[in-house]
A and B are shown apart, each in its own frame.
Chain A
Amino acid sequence: MHASLFITCYNDTLFPETGRAVVSLLERLGVELEFHPQQTCCGQMHANTGFRAEAYSQAKRLVRLYSDTENVVIPSSSCVAMMRDQYPGLFEELGSESLRRDLAALLPRIYELSEFLVDKLGVDDVGAYFPHRVTYHASCHGLRGLHLGERPLRLLTRVRGLDFAPLPNIDRCCGFGGTFSVKNAEVSSAMLSVKLQDVLATKAEYCTALDNSCLMHLGGAMHRQYAGMKTIHMAQILASTESTPMESFQ
């Protein structure tokens, strides 16, 4: 199986360990990975802040870049949701007929990481070992955007050694929302504070998710508050084995 990794701009810059974990995990499962060096950003930040022209030009760039690719794997549900929910509207308004055709052909080949594992590779036991207590934050885009459903839990609960701690009010937003976190910093912080109470109450060692953006928000508050919990992208848990523990991706 071939797949091209769209790492996303912020994972590339701020969370390269997530990318390294995806590579380790997928190559372990026999996937031949490519990485397109011309990739930058999917346009989500611009689209969601109202910069439609900029978002469109990034969307156009991405669709052209991957038009010949067999599968695209993306370890970020909000970026995948951007492509599925917003690209069609952007192209309807600003794009050409050929671009719309290319998008329609590309969209079914785009996978969020847990979709790729469960739907495309057909695995839910990826052979991982992670002897820690972990809670799972279902990001809004994973939950309501992509309808990931049971996929993340199927993957997590089959990790050996993992002590799974369910998160109460799992459908509630952490308050990140991209530029919302700075445009409405105080409201965002109030939402974060409420979310953090639920997360910390699980007494987990790690809070995981399929979006580093939510985790950056939760983890930033945990660090500020000496909360005694860490965040970790699910790819890093799934990549961990007895011989290659999580620390080897840091």
Chain B
Amino acid sequence: MSHSVEHPILDPTLAAPFPKAALPVLRDPQLRKNVAHAIDVIQTKRGKLVAEKTDWQELRSAAADIRTHVLENLGAYLEQFEERCTAAGGHVHCASDADEARQIILDILREENASEVIKIKTMTSGEIQLNPFLQASGVGVFETDLAEIILQLGNEEPSHIVVPALHINRSQVREIFAKSMGRPELSDDPQALTEAARIYLRRKFLDIPSAISGANYLVAETGGVVIVESEGNGRMCLTLPKTLITLAGIEKVVPRFEDLEVMLQVLARSATGERMNPYTSLWSGVTPGDGPQNFHVVLLDNARSSILGKPRERQTLRCIRCAACINACPVYRQTGGHAYGSVYPGPIGAILTPQLMQMRHAQSLPYASSLCGACYEVCPVKINIPEILIDLRAQVIDQQRHNIGRFFDPLYLGLRIAGFLFSRAFLFHAAQRLGRVGAGLFTHKDGWIHSMPSVGGKWTQTRDLRGFPNQTFREWWQNRPARSSTQIAKEPK
């Protein structure tokens, strides 16, 4: 990236590897409590609303089918979207990467002589580091989603894709508002806090005539854009300004208007545990005399077409950014979002970021999972995240096989050697005996290993390991005298 970034921690090119980035959170009881509490609330709501839907699995299949079909015919649907959106008075731009997208957006704003812009509901702008770029180019950027306002005023980073300020609790919000709005008397009563935000926001909505939004879906059939939100601030952003720029990944398209019936149902239930989200805005192009008169859509590729070319990884692009996988993830529950070093945290981030960065960066992310499968189970579009994680790990190891540094990685060496040992039973048996002798050196009087060197030390940081038994199972099996089943029942030894 050519320019300097203001918030380096969510830039995968600069972020620390996951295990290291997770440490500050693991040592912060308040932060962990905030994350676990928020996650448990959402999970409980989601669980109830999914359970009441008796055809949930059919709905999931339908959603997965719609998204799969789109990805198999993406070019055609994008062309259709462009044609219909243009016919309705919109302007469609295509950006092959982050640089291009940022420049297109800046050019549109310059043409409008905009010195300020308001924003709503766009993770994709975080992906392309849009805010620091616009600010460095002299355009003031103001977030209008309540959670995003908290983050912007507190100089914080998003830690979740649906609830970006999930790691911040109410009294911390009060601190941020009191300080940034110069209102030390502000209480932490939710009503007082939302009122403070409303007063702050109304001026922005009335004064700033340019806006940037994301998109939940693009509808090819109508050339329309869909945004769902909970507060209504998005609708202000989408209707009051003169100029509206929508930034969307190319994968966001759905074929028909009626596909929204399925997509909006799975999104609301998966994302916020609601039957329907409070505000759903749909519009196509420009309506004379009503709403923004200058409407642009920037379609962002940014490595998406290369993901599209890989049959297994392609399913990543089915994602509808509902965060169900994040909420279900036992790793995220402990680490929160910042450790993932990208605006896309959790399991989806662990597979998306390395692919968007084409594996040059973020090599630790595919390993940031215990492969417990909870993400796959809840995904409303059936993305097999564990399968992709394993696939990405294989790509990391394939890169490592050509890297001289591999000889200094004990885990890499150990697994290469183990691979050789498992190839012949006699080698494995020899290794078992050797392992027994080796482990014996570290085994305490109580029969347990309390500390080990190298990689083993990572285990014994927090757990003991029972010492190796004197006899392997196969040695026992070979030595046991031949006998009938009934005798064995009496004498198991």
Contact = CB atoms under 8 A, between A and B. Distances in A.
Given A86-B390, A144-B376, A190-B26, A180 B473 contact: no
Interface in B351-404: 366-374, 376-377, 387, 390, 392-398
B155 interface: no
B472 A185 contact: no
Nearest to A47: B390
A220 B374 contact: no
B448 interface: yes
B465 A50 contact: no
Interface stretch (A18-26, A114-122, A129-137, A148-156): A18-26
A58 B420 CA distance: 10
Interface residues of A, number: 81
A233 interface: no
**Majority-rule SS of A interface residues:** helix
Nearest to B19: A184
Given A176-B370, A191-B334, A13 B411 contact: no
B432 interface: yes
Interface residues of B, number: 73
Contacts of B471: 16
B442 to A, nearest CB: 14
Contact of A13 (B366, B435, B458, B493): B435
A202 interface: no
Interface stretch (A34-42, A66-74, A99-107, A159-167): A34-42
B463 A221 contact: yes
Interface residues of chain B: helix, strand, loop or mixed (majority): helix
A195 to B, nearest CB: 9
Contact of B473 (A7, A40, A145, A188): A7
Contact of B476 (A19, A85, A182, A183): A19
Nearest to A24: B492
B459 A35 contact: no
B367 A52 contact: no
Contact of B422 (A9, A37, A47, A243): A9
B428 interface: yes
Interface stretch (B222-230, B238-246, B314-322, B482-490): B482-490
Interface in A211-229: 216-217, 219-221, 223-224
A144 B462 contact: no
Contact of B411 (A54, A182, A194, A248): A182
Contacts of A181: 458-459
Nearest to A62: B422
A203 interface: no
Interface in B442-476: 448, 450, 455-456, 458-459, 461-466, 468-469, 471-476
Given A45-B415, A185-B19, A187-B22, A177 B373 contact: no
B18 interface: yes
A27 B425 contact: no
A37 B478 contact: yes
A127 to B, nearest CB: 10
Interface of A: 7, 9, 11-21, 23-24, 27-28, 30, 32, 35, 37-41, 43, 45-54, 57-58, 61, 85-86, 89, 140-141, 144-145, 171-173, 175-192, 194, 216-217, 219-221, 223-224, 239, 241, 243-244, 248-249
15 contacts: A12-B473, A13-B472, A21-B492, A28-B489, A37-B478, A41-B418, A50-B395, A50-B398, A52-B397, A177-B370, A180-B370, A185-B461, A220-B465, A223-B466, A248-B492
Given A50-B394, A184-B18, 9 more contacts: A7-B473, A27-B488, A41-B422, A54-B418, A175-B370, A180-B369, A180-B371, A183-B19, A189-B463
4 shortest interchain CB distances as A-B pairs: A177-B370, A50-B393, A220-B463, A54-B419
